[in-house]
Amino acid sequence: MSSCNEDGRGGTAPAVSSGSPGAEAPRRRVVVLGSTGSIGTQTLDVVSQHADRLEVVGLAVFGRVDELARQAREFGVRHLAVGDARLAGDARCDELAAWCAAEADGSFGVGADAVVGLTQLPEADVVVNALVGEAGMRASYETLAAGKVLALANKESLVVAGDLIMPLAHDLDARRRAAGLGPAFGPAGALMPIDSEHGAIYQCLLGEDAREVSRLWVTASGGPFRGRTRDELTAITPAQALAHPTWNMGAKISIDSSTLMNKGLEVIEAHHLFAMPYDKIEVVVQPQSAIHSMVEFADGSVKAHLGTTDMRIPIQFALSYPERWGAPVQPMDFRTLGTLEFAAPDEDTFRCLALARHAGAVGGTLPCAMNAANEVAVAAFLAEECGYLGIAACVEAVMDAHERAGVQRVESLDQLEDVDAWSRAEARRWVERGRA
């Protein structure tokens, strides 16, 4: 049965802990967009471990229909969506439609609108956005516009549309706090980052005055090619770039990690999430990935967030906030950690970090152009259509073209989708010229 929040919007906000260890709260009802990817499958594992607290009510994938069917049956989910419009009429989709129709209020759809439509389910409390790339941007916007908690793993939502999405998050935070649905101190939990770095910063800032922060330290593993020169990167293969030393991630984010574009995207995200100017956000290489990020304060004190390198920890915190539940993985044993190393990132060799910083500093639609070009370039590299160093070269070429044409102030999702389409076309032309 669906219910409404105090402002009349659909859904029931997650209950706030009463502090009583024996108190029971209703299960938080979760929609997972991108349920068959790395973050999606780990989210479902967290749900399985806390079935008394969490319930899946909606699942969406792009094209992995067989896996979606398995997940739907395992978790008893009757609201499903497949993003790839080319699969409309596929026999497997017909079977899933019948599965959903077996319950009176079930729903099934194919196409991008069907995926976004799951954010509007009246019974949903939290939407986990684990979609890859620009496709997740509209889903993030609509989740917050519907008054639902956004657990965000889609970096592009803030990189591209942070100017539109963060005001929605701030408004929802204010309404949740006024309705008594957030903790007495700290963020009210409208937008919870599912990201080891931003989840770490989020927790380091709890109970602190943001005006007393002097720097955010975003940590980076350095990727598989840390310490190599540009000459040593010319013949890198996709298989080598996918071999991340410490994290188990999807293909696109693994490539971004190797080029340090991932850190550039995270710098822009941190700027939006924490309202922090770019000159107060630094990247530091921490190869062991034991320190997930740090916050430095005006008096010289530094808070660091450490933990096991497993994404189920930040996923669970995003779903449990403001509570903390039992660890979903084996906690870190500091007796066996060994040494911790720190180094400055090599922005001359790994150009993507510097390009992302420039895009963020200029702002407007330039981050959108940068992100679209990077998605095309990474896909081309994975398809062996351009070299490894060609990723940064392609991104820089598209950014230069966009700046020459004139960077615009961000005004709407439709505008950003137009810039995204233009940038992708420019990037594809660059790739084709390189192959000619």
The sign one gets for the Cα dihedral 189, 194, 200, 201 is negative
pLDDT of residue 110: 98
The residue type of 300 is G
Per-residue pLDDT of the chain (436 residues; tens, 9 = 90+): 333 333 333 333 333 333 334 456 789 999 999 999 999 999 999 999 999 999 999 999 999 999 999 999 999 999 999 999 999 999 999 999 999 999 989 999 999 999 999 999 999 999 999 998 777 999 999 999 999 999 999 988 999 999 999 999 999 999 988 888 877 666 789 999 999 999 999 999 998 998 999 999 999 998 899 999 999 999 999 999 998 766 667 788 899 999 999 999 999 999 999 999 999 999 999 998 899 999 999 999 999 999 998 999 999 999 999 999 999 999 999 988 888 999 999 999 999 999 999 999 999 999 999 999 999 999 999 999 999 999 999 999 999 999 999 999 999 999 999 999 999 999 999 999 988 6
pLDDT of residue 422: 98
pLDDT of residue 420: 96
Tell me, yes or no, if the pTM score tops 0.85: yes
The residue type of 436 is A
pLDDT of residue 118: 98
In angstroms, the Cα distances linking 338 to 19, 287, 290, 294, 318 are 36, 12, 10, 19, 29
Query: What is d(CA 103, CA 96) in angstroms, rounded to the nearest whole number?
Result: 12
Burial of residue 99 (CB within 10 Å: 0-12, 13-18, 19+) is: middle
**129, 42 in Cβ contact below 8 A?**
no
pLDDT of residue 163: 97
pLDDT of residue 59: 98
pLDDT of residue 11: 38
Determine phi and psi for 143, rounding to 5 degrees: -60, -50
pLDDT of residue 183: 74
pLDDT of residue 240: 94
Alpha helix (H) residue ranges in 180-237: 196-205, 230-233
